[in-house]
Amino acid sequence: MKRFLLLLIFNILVLGAYAQQPDSTGTENPKKEKEKVAQTGSRDRIVVEVGFDNWNQADGKVTDVKWFSRSYGFYFMYDIILKKSRFSVAPGLGFGISNVFTSRGLVEDTVGTTFQNFSTAYGVAEDDVKKHKLVTSFIDLPVELRYRAKPNKHNKSFKLAVGFKAGVLFDSHTKLKYTTANDKPRVEKVKNYVDLQRFRYGPTFRIGYGAFNVFGFYNIGTVFKESGPSGIHSYTVGISINGL
């Protein structure tokens, strides 16, 4: 009986030692490799976004935002893995620029900010206007909860992220491009509209494979203060490229 027990203990020790050895390919056993699965691969630290901007025009006062309104974003995200899982939290810092093209001029006076026809707003004939846009630039603080199906596969994994972004306005201006009566091109800029909200904030969403993703952002806050056009919220849908 003692001899049987000694043989049994010996076999257990041998099998345990064998289980700790690398396999024939020189890697650790699958269990150890699985534990390290979330420690390798892309952390998506650099995020570059190109999106289409629009406004939620709930009050019906603004109906002339151009479909080609666009935005750009550049962010650095610090990926924090949650206990060697496929989930991580990624706070970040960056900036975003929005270009909203409209078919009416933005006018700010003592009463407030309103959209008016170009002939009234700038004294320019409607047919002479080439383009008019409102440009806003924000410093943003995004944070994401991320999921990667295969975190150890560099840029070869399904990715999903939900989060929140808050930003502060640091620059704004309108740009009007038109031709004069003698067909000469002219550009006019008006900077720093005081009726614009200083902050934007709202949920974000990102889904994709590898380095390429589709993203979305909805601004819970309004674009303008109460002295400007009311009830207007901005949103963005576009693509992003993630790396590093």
Residues 143 and 194 in one domain: yes
**Tokens representing residue 56 in the block:** 């939620």
Q: Could you report the per-residue pLDDT of 165-201, keeping only the tens digit for each?
A: 999 999 999 999 999 878 889 998 888 888 999 999 9
Q: Which residues pair with 56 in a beta bridge?
A: 233
Residues 159 and 194 in one domain: yes
Residues 213 and 118 in one domain: yes
Residues 86 and 196 in one domain: yes
The answer to whether 213 and 240 have CB atoms below 8 angstroms apart is yes
Integer Cα distance of 5 and 9 in angstroms: 6
Phi, psi of 238 (to 5 degrees): -170, -160
The answer to whether 150 and 158 have CB atoms below 8 angstroms apart is yes
Give the per-residue pLDDT at 58: 63
- H helices of the chain, in order, are 2-19, 30-35, 118-121
Q: Which residues pair with 101 in a beta bridge?
A: 133
Residues 132 and 30 in one domain: no
Under 8 Å CB-to-CB from 55, ≥6 apart: which residues? Answer: 62, 65, 100, 223, 232, 233, 234, 235
pLDDT band at residue 40 using 50, 70 and 90 as cut-offs: low
Give the per-residue pLDDT at 61: 58
Q: What H or E segment, with its residue span, contains residue 158?
A: strand 158-179
Residues 186 and 153 in one domain: yes
Residues 21 and 134 in one domain: no
Res. 16: pLDDT tops 70: no
Res. 18: pLDDT tops 50: no
Residues 138 and 190 in one domain: yes
Domain of residue 28, residue span: 1-35
Looking at per-residue pLDDT, the higher value among 243 and 135 belongs to: 135
Residues 229 and 171 in one domain: yes
Res. 29: pLDDT tops 70: no
Residues 99 and 63 in one domain: yes
Residues 85 and 109 in one domain: yes
- Give the residue-averaged pLDDT of 133-143: 97
Residues 31 and 139 in one domain: no
Q: Could you report the per-residue pLDDT of 139-150, keeping only the tens digit for each?
A: 999 999 999 998
- Give the residue-averaged pLDDT of 78-102: 93
Looking at per-residue pLDDT, the higher value among 10 and 117 belongs to: 117
